[in-house]
Chain A
Amino acid sequence: MGLNARVATLPGHEITVEEQQEFRVDDLLPSRVMRPADAQDAARGLRLCDLVPAAVVTWGGGTQMRLGATPRRYEVAFSTERMTRLLEYEPADLTCRVEAGMRLQDLQESLLAQGQRLPLEPPHPERATVGGMLAANANGLGRARYGTVRDWVIGIAVAYPSGKLARAGGKVVKNVAGYDLMKLHIGALGTLGVIAEVNFKVQTRPQVEATLLAHFEMLAPAIDCGIALARQYLAPAAALVLDQGALRDCGLAADWRWTLALKLEGYAREVEAARNKATGIIRDAGGRVEEGDVPSTFWETARDWSAPDDDHVVVRAIVPLTSIHAILNALPPDSRMMALPGAGLVDARVAPGSAASTLQRLRTAGGDQGQVIVAAAPAVVKKGLDVWGPPPPGFPIMRALKQALDPNGILNPGRFVGGI
């Protein structure tokens, strides 16, 4: 039996014309679509794919499908869209268990009803799924204060090509039994298994939220302010530096070249004190604090900016805080950028034509302790780019892990670092 014939024996159905647009990855189309009903179902389905062996791309909300290299093969779109249940939620324990296909916004609404939340705000929560957020390690703007996905996931169930559905972690907030496989799957882009269920710890919603905008003529003091604020006890929930272009993308305009946007959260007194302190730090650095309200859509557009739905090329640098100035200096003048100084992260939208040279320059500027990747790009641009950069020193272990968990290489083949 040839590959196509074997793929046709798989459950699910042949891809329809409508689905062709939906499940495209770069310029590749699958021939089959599978939508498992639950975690067990996903494990069985994956086992069947492995037997073919058919290349599988797991789909959540599709908000991070521009991330990563173009897969080598793609036969099956494996969608979690039927796996959307909130399985357990005990507000007094501040924990919940959800299926991977649940949309983040749906989860947040359930939590909100109890005055709680998951302090992670990846782009497009109305579409992004929990599983996708984990696989892409999609973090929001609050990472300097609240950490990243890995800090909030306490348990996981993963379907493997072997047909096993295996769990790690658990339902309790503190647990060191067995290996911490949550960490392994977060950011693995679905190359080691299909995340089927996730256990989170959650938190009580803050009492008060406030925004503070400040404008700067010079970039360096804006960044330094951001770092100084993030380094304080109780960092701002978000500290973001935007250039004029990025600010415009977020629906605001300013005369000054650089804007520092702060989101302050916490108890009322805390926020008040933080605002006063931040104002002082900003003024000392020569910034101008903007009085007046900021449109409520600002934080949402800023959040979504780094995961565009259109054909923008987004380059992302993650570096030690002390290297951030070097990164910013290496950006081309026609780029637009947004930086999280306290997290050592810079996202830049660059022109397709200058993407390759920008990557090169940023990688030099970031040094050996930094990483520079392409966070989003259209297929045609990606072809000419080294999306992930040189593999990290631990790469041989990563390849061996991939071999151990996905020996036939069916999961997202070629999409991840070093061709994994």
Chain B
Amino acid sequence: MDAADREQLLARLRGVVGERYAFADPYEMRLYQYDASPETALPDIVVIPGTAADVARVVKICADAQVPITARSAASSLAGGTVPVEHGVVITFARMDRILEIDPDNQRAVVEPGVVNLALSQALKPLGYYYVPDPSSQGACTIGGNVGTNAGGPHTLLYGVTVNHVTGLELALPSGALVQVGGRKAAAASGYDLTGLFVGSEGTMGIATKIWVKIQPLPPVQKTLMAVYPDVETASNAVSAIVRSGILPAAIEMMDKLSIQAIEAASHAGYPLDAGAVLLLEVDGIPELVDELGERMAKACRESGATEVRVAKDEAERQALWKGRKGAFSAMGRLSPDFYVMDGVVPRTRLPETLAKIDAISARTGFKICNVFHAGDGNLHPLVLFDAFKPGQYEAVLRIGDEILKLCADAGGSVTGEHGIGLEKRENIRYVFSDDDLEVMDRIRRVFDPHGLMNPGKVFPGEVLEGSAPSRAPDHASRRAAAGIGGDDVWV
């Protein structure tokens, strides 16, 4: 964007949000070039709107000026989802952090996109409710960002991810419209499920300015177990065995030796430093049952090779274990100046072989790779440790990431379980989707955003974004010929 255009756009945006909340100073732009991923790119202008109506106006002004828009909330994306790779305007939600309504009668809460995930659950707690999805970054990440990535978390194993807990959205679209889709009621009865479609679209369709979420009664009792295994293979085999035994825990998390070291250095959570791998399991339920389930689960752990099973004896110990687990990524800072985290998924039964292959990659390349992840749903988070200040390391790490995602896809899995495709995996998406799959998704994207202005450069591989819709031949016969259809049919 040239300086004159920027000034003109800035003036218009300031007309909406005021002088203080729209700025373009190159120095300040440097502070909006990053998120929690290693990616960076500079915006031209940053806007901090205070209301949904302002967001809609800002989006309209940008769309009219054909300027890219990237929504950014906590910027805790691990996939570069909020990095404005095509520059343009970054809209942040630091001011839109109000819980608008808590409606226990309908089991709903209505929030602005900037509400921090954990803040919502904390506000619900006195009423005996909580908001289920609990990404490990829940202390910082926002519900708006969770909607963007369809975020998960340890406890989504049993209760489902963000999309299962969002019933309605208010959307600011490039057309300038502010539209409500879905709402307070339990299910959609007429029309397409635009709420479900939008969740997980990573800001490429529009911006959610208001969110209706389900709230759920707090489980009466939670029991957390830590099972210690001699190695990762035994632990990952145990995961399937436990699930197969008929108990579905609310969460099953795995940490390998290296991760445990980092976690213990950071938070003294109480994990044994000499363990080859640890499973953190949780069951919840009514008091009459939880002890029985806990015992059955402990038994299943022992039978699957656990050398020790420890039950958290009180809430403080339970919280310590979870705090350690949830702080695991950031704790990697203790082991290495930089790390690169992946988010592959494999079917649970393929965990052992996949982890073995990752281990082989680590051995071959010489980069340490930690594993701390949602074992229950096969959602791997290999963390490659490196030093970005050493030339060539970052590129090498990207190649490792690519290789790991390929092997997840080949095992029948996915390249992202909860972090989103973002910027970093837009080429890797080809490991799981064909051109046809992507073409259909792109068509849908264009319905919302015909000019490709909403978080451009994300989700889709480069060529798909540049491609055009196929042309149509004039009449039936030539259309049929053009489609290459002829010969015998196999129809009954």
Per-position contact with A for B441-455: 1 when CB-CB < 8 Å, else 0? Answer: 101111110000000
Bound CA–CA A158/B433 (angstroms):
13
Bound CA–CA A177/B196 (angstroms):
14
Seen from chain A, the residues whose Cβ lies within 8 Å of a Cβ on chain B are: 1, 6, 11-13, 34-37, 41, 44-45, 47-48, 51-52, 82, 90-95, 115, 137, 139, 143-144, 147-148, 150-151, 158, 160, 162-168, 170-184, 186-188, 192, 203-204, 207, 231-234, 267, 269-270, 272-273, 316, 318-322, 343-345, 369-373, 388-389, 391-398, 400-401, 403-405, 417-418
Bound CA–CA A398/B415 (angstroms):
29
From residue 401 to 440 of chain B, which have CB atoms closer than 8 A to chain A?
Answer: 412-421, 425, 429, 432-434, 436-440
Q: Are A393 and B187 in contact (CB under 8 A)?
A: no
B476 within 8 A of A: yes
Contacts of A272 in B (CB 8 A): 288
Q: Are B288 and A322 in contact (CB under 8 A)?
A: no
Bound CA–CA A320/B457 (angstroms):
39
A389 CB to nearest B CB, Å: 7
Contacts of B181 in A (CB 8 A): 392-394, 397
Q: A34-B491, A270-B286 are in contact. Are A148 and B347 (CB under 8 A)?
A: no
Bound CA–CA A343/B188 (angstroms):
11
Q: A82-B492, A160-B440, A269-B288 are in contact. Are A388 and B185 (CB under 8 A)?
A: no
Contacts of B192 in A (CB 8 A): 184, 187-188, 192, 394, 398, 401
Q: Which 3 A-B pairs have the closest CB atoms?
A: A183-B196, A11-B491, A11-B489
Q: Are A175 and B436 in contact (CB under 8 A)?
A: no
Query: Which residue from B152, B433, B447 sits with its C-beta under 8 Å from A397?
Result: B447
Contacts of B378 in A (CB 8 A): 93, 172-174
B293 within 8 A of A: yes
Q: Are A178 and B413 in contact (CB under 8 A)?
A: no
Q: Are B200 and A94 in contact (CB under 8 A)?
A: no
B253 CB to nearest A CB, Å: 13
| Residue of A36, A188, A232, A269 most packed against chain B (CB within 10 A) | A269
Total chain B interface residues with beta-carbon distance under 8 A: 99
B475 CB to nearest A CB, Å: 9
A97 CB to nearest B CB, Å: 10
Q: Are A322 and B190 in contact (CB under 8 A)?
A: no
A36 CB to nearest B CB, Å: 7
Q: Are A181 and B444 in contact (CB under 8 A)?
A: yes
Bound CA–CA A95/B414 (angstroms):
14
Per-position contact with A for B188-199: 1 when CB-CB < 8 Å, else 0? Answer: 111111111101
Query: Which residue from B193, B292, B345 sits with its C-beta under 8 Å from A183?
Result: B193
Contacts of A401 in B (CB 8 A): 192, 444, 447
B28 CB to nearest A CB, Å: 31
B259 within 8 A of A: no
Q: Are A369 and B183 in contact (CB under 8 A)?
A: yes
A283 CB to nearest B CB, Å: 20
Query: Which residue from A165, A269, A369, A388 sits with its C-beta under 8 Å from B292?
Result: A269
Contacts of B119 in A (CB 8 A): none
Contacts of B218 in A (CB 8 A): 233
Seen from chain B, the residues whose Cβ lies within 8 Å of a Cβ on chain A are: 105-108, 149-150, 152, 156, 160-161, 163-164, 173, 177, 179-181, 183-197, 199-201, 216-220, 240, 243-244, 246, 248, 285-286, 288-289, 292-293, 345-349, 374, 377-379, 412-421, 425, 429, 432-434, 436-441, 443-448, 459, 470, 476-477, 479-480, 483, 485, 489-492
Q: A175-B414, A183-B197 are in contact. Are A392 and B190 (CB under 8 A)?
A: yes
Query: Which residue from B108, B413, B434, B448 sits with its C-beta under 8 Å from A170?
Result: B413
Contacts of B374 in A (CB 8 A): 174
Q: Are B185 and A37 in contact (CB under 8 A)?
A: no
Contacts of A177 in B (CB 8 A): 414-416, 421, 425, 429, 432-433
| Residue of B188, B413, B418 most packed against chain A (CB within 10 A) | B188
Known: A177-B414, A184-B192, A401-B444. 20 other contacts (CB 8 A): A6-B476, A137-B187, A150-B163, A150-B196, A163-B483, A174-B374, A179-B200, A181-B440, A183-B196, A233-B216, A270-B285, A320-B108, A321-B106, A344-B185, A345-B187, A371-B190, A388-B191, A398-B192, A404-B444, A404-B447
Contacts of A44 in B (CB 8 A): 485
Q: Are B190 and A417 in contact (CB under 8 A)?
A: yes
Closest to B163 in A: A180
Q: Are B246 and A179 in contact (CB under 8 A)?
A: no
Q: A93-B349, A147-B160 are in contact. Are A316 and B289 (CB under 8 A)?
A: no
Bound CA–CA A118/B379 (angstroms):
22
| Residue of A35, A170, A178, A232 most packed against chain B (CB within 10 A) | A178
Query: Which residue from B107, B185, B459, B477 sits with its C-beta under 8 Å from A231?
Result: B107
Closest to A91 in B: B244
Bound CA–CA A179/B438 (angstroms):
9
Q: A170-B414, A172-B417, A176-B150 are in contact. Are A93 and B184 (CB under 8 A)?
A: no
B163 CB to nearest A CB, Å: 6
Q: Are B219 and A172 in contact (CB under 8 A)?
A: no
Q: Are A174 and B197 in contact (CB under 8 A)?
A: no
Contacts of B448 in A (CB 8 A): 397
Contacts of B413 in A (CB 8 A): 170-172, 175
A304 CB to nearest B CB, Å: 19
Contacts of A234 in B (CB 8 A): 285-286
Contacts of A171 in B (CB 8 A): 347, 412-413
Contacts of B346 in A (CB 8 A): 172
Q: Are B186 and A318 in contact (CB under 8 A)?
A: yes
Q: Are B288 and A270 in contact (CB under 8 A)?
A: yes
B459 CB to nearest A CB, Å: 7
Contacts of A48 in B (CB 8 A): 480, 485
Bound CA–CA A184/B193 (angstroms):
6
Residue contacts A-B, CB under 8 angstroms, 26 given = A1-B477, A36-B491, A51-B485, A143-B186, A144-B186, A158-B440, A174-B374, A176-B149, A176-B200, A178-B438, A181-B441, A181-B444, A182-B196, A184-B196, A233-B220, A267-B289, A270-B285, A273-B289, A320-B183, A343-B186, A370-B185, A372-B189, A373-B190, A396-B177, A401-B192, A405-B440
Query: Which residue from A163, A176, A186 sits with its C-beta under 8 Å from B418?
Result: A176
Contacts of A147 in B (CB 8 A): 160, 164
Q: Are A270 and B149 in contact (CB under 8 A)?
A: no
Q: A91-B244, A393-B179, A395-B191 are in contact. Are A174 and B418 (CB under 8 A)?
A: yes
Closest to B202 in A: A176
Bound CA–CA A155/B440 (angstroms):
15
Contacts of B347 in A (CB 8 A): 90, 93, 95, 171-172
Contacts of B492 in A (CB 8 A): 12-13, 35, 37, 82
Bound CA–CA A144/B146 (angstroms):
23
B350 CB to nearest A CB, Å: 8
Contacts of B443 in A (CB 8 A): 404-405
A168 CB to nearest B CB, Å: 7
Bound CA–CA A95/B152 (angstroms):
18
